[in-house]
């Protein structure tokens, strides 16, 4: 698939928008299938098919134009990817996406590869909770499907609370009860794997979440045993899936340095946004290269980086309905700051609106400058130097 041809994308969110930018920068045209009329990707796509992900006619139309397809959203019907696979190359494939769509299936699969996951039990009915060992409390009850950024999750301290939470929030849906992992930090590994099995791995990111949503990623570029272990596990998972495309694996790091997989995402990931300014190749360019069957790019880190997420809360500094434009000019006056906004018209609390990458050859300087941004935008989490 040489530049100039059409690439097909399922999903129209910010990841799709940044995919379009990367593809277009390389001379490709992108056709986006997304049911939302005004999604972030639709407004920059070369062509937008506004239809459901399983609309047979739309899939047919997509396949008439494009010979390679990808997704920016793990909850597209795997069946749609299987249909497109009959007409061209699909990266990632239906099976990998299907596994990542269901927490229980995903955990079972990862465990079967000898990679550690959080202790858990499937909860498909209220009765299943009677078999939960007490060691899983305190825990988190999570919907098996369609949860993200902490959505569809309830923290429970006891069996009684778990039962209430299940009845109130999750009855009739398949769920997983996970024991709370006493992690000392969270890290993630983004990799790209080609059709030929070639695998390239970006430097791991250390991530801090706020209310279940990524707030800050730190990429110091310092090697560590923990990172080596995480990279090896991520590669094992990619190989086990026969994966093709960009994959993210999120980990908890325990006090003894062991890593435990939290979840996987069969697409570029928020914690890989730093690659846009800090690496030779961005995760989105890598997605373009992988699906097109081109050689994968270098994942070399050009400079340490801090990535700050900008949520809609930034537009509502007084915790009221009063909307205030953030002082982005002051943010951009700070050296080495790159702003990425997703073009979302409406800012809402907790909604991902954009991110900021701060790069510097000296990681401590990147942290200091990131904290100047934190001050100006009144972000909830400060960047920090600490590491495992």
Residue 254 CB, shortest distance to ligand AMP, in Å, is 11
Identify the CA nearest to 175 among candidates 222, 212, 143, 201: 143
**Residue closer to ligand AMP (CB basis): 149 or 372:** 149
Residues for the chain: how many in total? 388
Residue 123 is a binding residue for ligand AMP (CB under 6 A): no
Residue 35 is a binding residue for ligand AMP (CB under 6 A): no
Q: How far apart are CA 116 and CA 114, in angstroms?
A: 7
Give the one residue of 150, 293, 326, 380 binding ligand AMP; rule: CB under 6 A.
150
Question: Ramachandran region of residue 242, left (φ > 0), alpha (ψ -120 to 50) or beta?
Answer: left
Residue 74 is a binding residue for ligand AMP (CB under 6 A): no
Residue 380 is a binding residue for ligand AMP (CB under 6 A): no
Residue 171 CB, shortest distance to ligand AMP, in Å, is 20
Q: Do 198 and 166 form a contact (C-beta atoms < 8 A)?
A: no
**Residue closer to ligand AMP (CB basis): 163 or 209:** 209
What stretches of the chain show up as alpha helix (H) in DSSP?
14-25, 56-65, 78-85, 94-100, 103-112, 159-165, 225-241, 275-278, 283-292, 328-332, 363-377
**Residue closer to ligand AMP (CB basis): 140 or 170:** 140
Q: How far apart are CA 227 and CA 288, in angstroms?
A: 26
Residue 262 is a binding residue for ligand AMP (CB under 6 A): yes
**Residue closer to ligand AMP (CB basis): 20 or 226:** 226
| Residue 273 tokens, joined | 């946004």
Residue 381 CA: distances (Å) to CA of 32, 211, 252: 34, 11, 19
**Residue closer to ligand AMP (CB basis): 263 or 285:** 263
CB neighbours (10 Å) of residue 252?
20
Residue 118 is a binding residue for ligand AMP (CB under 6 A): yes
Identify the CA nearest to 352 among candidates 337, 342, 367: 342
Residue 103 CB, shortest distance to ligand AMP, in Å, is 8
Residue 252 CB, shortest distance to ligand AMP, in Å, is 6
Q: Which residues pair with 193 in a beta bridge?
A: 199, 245
Give the one residue of 180, 254, 302, 381 binding ligand AMP; rule: CB under 6 A.
180
Q: How far apart are CA 57 and CA 68, in angstroms?
A: 17
Q: 315 by DSSP, 3-state: which?
A: helix
- How many residues touch ligand AMP under the rule CB under 6 A: the total is 13
> Residue 329: phi, psi to the nearest 5?
-65, -40
Q: 122 by DSSP, 3-state: which?
A: strand
Residue 212 is a binding residue for ligand AMP (CB under 6 A): yes
Q: How far apart are CA 388 and CA 372, in angstroms?
A: 24
Q: How far apart are CA 100 and CA 265, in angstroms?
A: 7
Region from 125-133, 146-154, 275-283, 286-294 binding ligand AMP, contact rule CB under 6 A: 146-154
Residue 263 is a binding residue for ligand AMP (CB under 6 A): yes
Give the one residue of 72, 98, 186, 360 binding ligand AMP; rule: CB under 6 A.
186
Residue 382 is a binding residue for ligand AMP (CB under 6 A): no
End-to-end CA distance of the chain: 42
Region from 108-116, 142-150, 193-201, 239-247 binding ligand AMP, contact rule CB under 6 A: 142-150
**Residue closer to ligand AMP (CB basis): 32 or 129:** 129
Region from 67-75, 76-84, 180-188, 330-338 binding ligand AMP, contact rule CB under 6 A: 180-188
**Residue closer to ligand AMP (CB basis): 178 or 360:** 178
**Residue closer to ligand AMP (CB basis): 251 or 315:** 251
Q: Do 359 and 278 form a contact (C-beta atoms < 8 A)?
A: yes
Give the one residue of 61, 145, 209, 351 binding ligand AMP; rule: CB under 6 A.
209
**Residue closer to ligand AMP (CB basis): 137 or 316:** 137
**Residue closer to ligand AMP (CB basis): 41 or 176:** 176
Residue 140 is a binding residue for ligand AMP (CB under 6 A): yes
Q: How far apart are CA 278 and CA 71, in angstroms?
A: 24
Q: Interface residues with ligand AMP (CB under 6 A)?
A: 118, 140, 148-150, 178, 180-181, 186, 209, 212, 262-263
């Amino acid at each position: 698939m040489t530049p100039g041809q059409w690439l097909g994308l399922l999903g129209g969110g910010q990841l799709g928008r940044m995919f379009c930018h990367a593809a277009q920068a390389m001379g490709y045209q992108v056709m986006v299938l997304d049911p939302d009329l005004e999604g972030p990707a639709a407004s920059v796509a070369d062509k937008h098919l506004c239809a459901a992900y399983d609309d047979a006619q739309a899939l047919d139309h997509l396949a008439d134009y494009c010979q390679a397809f990808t997704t920016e959203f793990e909850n597209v019907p795997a069946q749609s990817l299987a249909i497109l696979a009959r007409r061209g190359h699909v990266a990632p494939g239906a099976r990998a996406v299907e596994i990542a769509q269901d927490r229980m299936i995903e955990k079972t699969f990862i465990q079967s590869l000898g990679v550690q996951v959080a202790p858990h039990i499937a909860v498909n009915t209220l009765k299943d909770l009677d078999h939960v060992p007490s060691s899983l409390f305190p825990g988190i009850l999570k919907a098996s499907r369609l949860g993200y950024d902490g959505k569809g999750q309830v923290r429970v301290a006891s069996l009684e609370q778990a039962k209430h939470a299940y009845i109130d929030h999750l009855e009739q849906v398949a769920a997983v009860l996970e024991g709370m992992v006493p992690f000392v930090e969270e890290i993630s590994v983004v990799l790209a794997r080609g059709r030929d099995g070639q695998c390239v791995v970006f430097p791991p990111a250390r991530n801090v979440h706020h209310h279940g949503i990524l707030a800050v990623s730190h990429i110091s570029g310092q090697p560590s045993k923990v990172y080596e272990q995480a990279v090896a596990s991520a590669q094992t998972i990619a190989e086990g899936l026969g994966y093709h495309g960009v994959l993210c694996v999120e980990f908890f790091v325990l006090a003894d340095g062991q890593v435990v997989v939290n979840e996987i995402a069969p697409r570029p990931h928020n914690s890989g946004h730093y690659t846009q300014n800090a690496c030779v190749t961005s995760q989105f360019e890598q997605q373009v290269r992988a699906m097109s069957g081109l050689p994968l790019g270098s994942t070399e880190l050009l400079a340490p980086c801090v990535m700050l997420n900008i949520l809609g809360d930034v537009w509502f500094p007084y915790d009221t309905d009063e909307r205030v434009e953030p002082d982005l000019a002051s943010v951009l006056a700070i050296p080495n700051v790159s702003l990425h906004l997703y073009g979302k018209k409406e800012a809402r609390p907790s909604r991902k609106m954009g991110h900021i990458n701060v790069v510097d050859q000296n990681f401590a300087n990147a942290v200091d400058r990131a904290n100047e941004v934190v001050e100006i935008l009144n972000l909830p989490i400060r960047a920090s130097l600490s590491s495992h």
